[in-house]
Each structure stands twice: as C-alpha cells, then as structure tokens.
Amino acid sequence: MNHWDTDLTFDQNHIWHPYSKIPSEIPAIGVKKTQGSIITLADDSELIDGMSSWWSAIHGYNQPEIVKAMHQQLDTMPHIMFGGLTHQPAIELAQKIIELTPPPLDKIFFVDSGSVAVEVAIKMALQYWISQQQPHKNKLITVKNGYHGDTFATMAVCDPENGMHQSFNEVLTKHYFAPAPQMGFAIDSNNQDINALRNILENEQANLAAMIIEPIVQGAGGMRIYRPDYLKQVRELCDEFNILLIVDEIATAFGRTGKLFACEWADITPDIMTLGKTLTGGHISLAATLSTAKISQTICNGNPGILAHGPTYMANPLACSAAIANIKVLLNSNWQENIKRIEKHFIKEIMPLKKLTGIKEVRVLGAIVAIELEQDNLGNKIQQTALENGVWIRPFGKLVYSLPAYNIKPEELDKLTKAIKAAVTLNLK
C-alpha cells in the first residue's frame, strides 16, 4: 500500500467533503497537481476539467500572471488585519471593481467567501431599514430554485423544498418565495411569473426589506436560465414597492454568461451586489459585497452608525493581489470570443441530446451547459463513465452540467463534450 492509498483511506474516514457523510460512501479522488484545464491524479492519469473548480478557475489552473502576483505578495505581506489598517492591494482592487461594475455601485465590503458576502448583503439590507426606524421591514423575498450559500442566513433564502437545507426549515427565518422565473433566455413570456411576484409584493411590501436573486442563471438550484426581461421587471417592481434589490453574481460575474456581469443582460443596477468564486480566478478564496452610496450613507447615518461585521481575513492582501491579476488577465484576453466559441460548441455537440428519451431539457448560455435528466439517480454512474473517458464532471440530482475554463483548448473542449455525450447516452440505456 503506497502513501496515497493510506492517505485516501484516512481522508474517507476522517475528513468531511462537501455534501457528504463520514465515512464517505464514495472515496474522493486524489489529485497531485493541476495545470490549465488538466487535473493530474495520484496515479499520474489526467482528466480534462469540466467544472473549473465549481466555476471559479476561469483561466484554468496555475495561471502564470496570477501565480506571479501571489508570489510577489507572499514575499512582502501575505496578511494584515484590516481593522484600522489598509494596503495597496485592497485599494487597487476596489478601484478596479468599481470601474467595472454597473454604477452607482461604489462601496465595497471585502469578505473571505461567497456565503459570507451574501450574509453581509442581507445584513446591509436589514440595517438599511433599521437605520430609518423601520425595523418591521425585516423579511426577504426571493424565487424558488435559488441558491445563495450554506451559512445560516443564506440557507433561509435557498429553495425550501428542492434545495439542500430542508432539514433546517423549522429553525430558519421564514422569508417569502415567489415562483421561479420561467425558463428560457429568449422566450416570449406571458409574464405569469412576474405577475405572481407582484401579487406577493402588493400584499407583503410593508414587511419586506429586499429581494435577492441570481441574475439570468440560477446556479446550484438547477442551472435554470431565464429571460433578461424578467430581471428588468424585478428591478422595476423593487423600485415600485420600495424594497432593495440584491443581485447575487457570485456564480455569474466576470464573463461566464457572455457579459462581464449577468445583470448587464437586463441593463439594470442592483442596490447591493455580491461577488465571489471567479474574483481571484479560482486561485484563493475572496469575495465582496458592493452597495450604492445610498445604502452606505443610510447605514452610517443611523444607529449605531457602523456595519458591524469584520472577518479576520477581510481584504487579505494575498487574495487581493490574486484578484487584481485575475481581472487584468481577463480584460487582456479574448474572453468574449472564447465564451462564444464554447457556447457555439455546446450548442452543436450537446444540444442534440435533448432528442433522447430520458432527457427533459438541454440548456446553454455562454460557457454553461446543463443537461436535465428525467431521473435523479444516474449522477454517480454518469460521473464514473466520464472519468473512464478522461473527463471530470460532477452531476447532482437530475443535472449533468459543465462550466469549463474560458481558455480551454479546442481539442480539450472536444474531448470534454464527447465524454459527456458518451456518459449520458450510455447510462440512459
């Protein structure tokens, strides 16, 4: 037994992995190194990565300019507390984010993970109304099939029926859930979904602080793609009924859908926006919550006049340096052409699967493809078949999906889609 066998046995019996048991029913796969879109396993075999580490490694792994920036920062100041102190990486990153995001988002709160970014967004929204002596506006509204994180406040705005947190329904804060947006990016909708949302707002506006929504693509809640006009009307309704709009761009920001930020498809600006995942190009954890000056001024003019939140690793300089380099690499790349290339390939190679018996729908937008199956028990088999064909994907429930790095090589993309098609087709029989 080599050391990897021993280590993987220890891992299986002692280390919790996402959404798993101890001991885990299926052992984790040992990884030795990564480069570009290639994952090298413990046995030296290689996989093409179809997940870009949960959609974060948009340039692939070990991107040279990002790694260089991190090495330089590591030599000078890997970390310093942000309470009472500041540093150039945080300032430069804030400047770049403000320049890129839709105005008037110009206030930034740095955190260390996407879930915490949403927690801070919720706290901002609630404190906004508390600061105006309207503490009764303390509920949120969202849509079904959404996902916003696994921490306590974020669980309460994930889908209460089809999400991953039903066990906590009795102890979570009760919020309002409108029907999920009708699926289809370019559908001619009858607005039944937006009318249902309006009805809730008309009845509950006195209690509502904010609406939170993933723009255009509902990620972990089902990879559901919806029309930009729905999001545009959401913005209008929030204004009409005097509630804030929080847009969760953690999974969609920095180009994944074909726009730099998904809310650009609807040409809207939220009151609060969350960023994460892709912020550092998947090299180290960092997230951020942005707000307008209206939000920050109201909070700071209220009582107690501060936003009482301060993560230990807030604005970590190593992570900020990685994020600065990531943004530079993205903007200096042909990211839009790459997204179109991937989208075109997915449409050509994967979309025809929708004709197969056992497949409910195939959805494509930008560098996102999702195959929705009729059954929800084929994920492990499909994953194993993909592994046998040299590809890493991680299906969940009825979904088989892929969000590769933007710069995945054409031959790697071709191998990825061939393996997905083979895995799905074989296991549907």
Same fold for the pair 3-59+334-428 and 66-331: no
Strand partners, 386: none
pLDDT digits (tens, 9 = 90+) for 9-31: 999 999 999 999 999 988 999 99
- CATH class assigned to 66-331: alpha beta
Q: Residues 6 or more apart from 326 whose CB is under 8 A from it?
A: 58, 59, 63, 66, 254, 278, 279, 280, 281, 283
pLDDT digits (tens, 9 = 90+) for 325-336: 999 999 999 999
- Per-residue pLDDT band for 164 (boundaries 50, 70, 90) equals confident
Task: Please report, for the chain, the start and end positions of each structural domain, with discontinuous segments joined by +.
Answer: 3-59+334-428, 66-331
Per-residue model confidence (pLDDT) at position 5: 84
Q: What is the mean pLDDT of the chain?
A: 96
Residue 203 or 429, more confident: 203
> What is residue 232's three-state secondary structure?
helix
Residue 164 or 428, more confident: 428
Within a 13 Å sphere around the CA of 56, how many CA atoms are in the beta-carbon half?
20
- Between 43-57, 156-170, 373-387, the lowest mean confidence (pLDDT) is in 156-170
Q: Is residue 1 predicted with pLDDT exceeding 70?
A: no
pLDDT digits (tens, 9 = 90+) for 407-428: 999 999 999 999 999 999 999 9
pLDDT digits (tens, 9 = 90+) for 264-322: 999 999 999 999 999 999 999 999 999 999 999 999 999 999 999 999 999 999 999 99
CATH number for the domain whose boundaries are 3-59+334-428: 3.90.1150.10
Give one word for 214, left, alpha or beta, with left for phi > 0 and alpha for psi -120 to 50: beta
Element (H or E) spanning 323, and its range? helix 317-331
- Per-residue pLDDT band for 163 (boundaries 50, 70, 90) equals confident
- Per-residue pLDDT band for 169 (boundaries 50, 70, 90) equals confident
pTM for the predicted model, two decimal places = 0.97
DSSP state of 223: -
Show which residues are catalytic: 19, 147, 248, 277
